[in-house]
Amino acid sequence: MSHITLITGSTLGGAEYVADHLADLLAQEGHQTDIVNQADLSELRLDSVWLVVCSTHGAGEFPDNIQPFVQQLSELKPDLSSLQYGIIGLGDSSYDTFCAAAKNLEQQLTSLGATRLGERLDIDVSQDPVPEDPAENWLAEWKNSLCE
């Protein structure tokens, strides 16, 4: 069983609800989970798998609650070569900057050496008004990579 840290970037609460739902499902499978809504690099476990759930706001901007964490990553450039992570973006495809925050964070984590488990999921809330549904489907596949 794995320890999974769910890190959220959310302005209106949607990404937080998705993370809550996924944490419940992971716990039902026997995994240990922490949900972190104000991520601070110094407090995150590197021996945990990170599952980032991040929406996009502004013109492709990060939600306020995750901006300090993104700043820490770019300034401190931690060695994340031992880290495995998954990532889910929430966005609206009517924006040119569809899921830009999740895409940028994925690039950042990868450039710091982290290994992505599974593919990034981009949830289009204009097509999927209940984002927990596609997230749950994605998790069914993603959780298999935890045991490999």
Ligand X SMILES: Cc1cc2nc3c(=O)[nH]c(=O)nc-3n(C[C@H](O)[C@H](O)[C@H](O)COP(=O)(O)O)c2cc1C
Chain contacts with ligand X (rule: CB under 6 A): 10-15, 55-60, 63, 90-92, 95, 97-100, 125
- Pick 117 or 123: Cβ nearer ligand X: 123
Nearer to ligand X, 106 or 146 (CB): 106
The closest residue (CB) to ligand X is 91
Task: For tokens 């959780």, name the residue.
Answer: 143
CB 120 to ligand X: min, Å: 13
Minimum distance of ligand X from residue 37's CB (angstroms): 11
Query: Smallest distance from the beta carbon of 111 to ligand X, in angstroms?
Result: 22
Which residue from 33, 113, 101 is spatially nearest to 70, judged by alpha carbons? Answer: 101
Burial of 16 (0-12, 13-18, 19+ CB in 10 A): buried
* Euclidean distance between CA atoms 72 and 59, whole angstroms: 21
User: What CA–CA distance (Å, rounded) separates 15 from 26?
Assistant: 16
**What minimum distance in Å lies between the beta carbon of 80 and ligand X?**
24
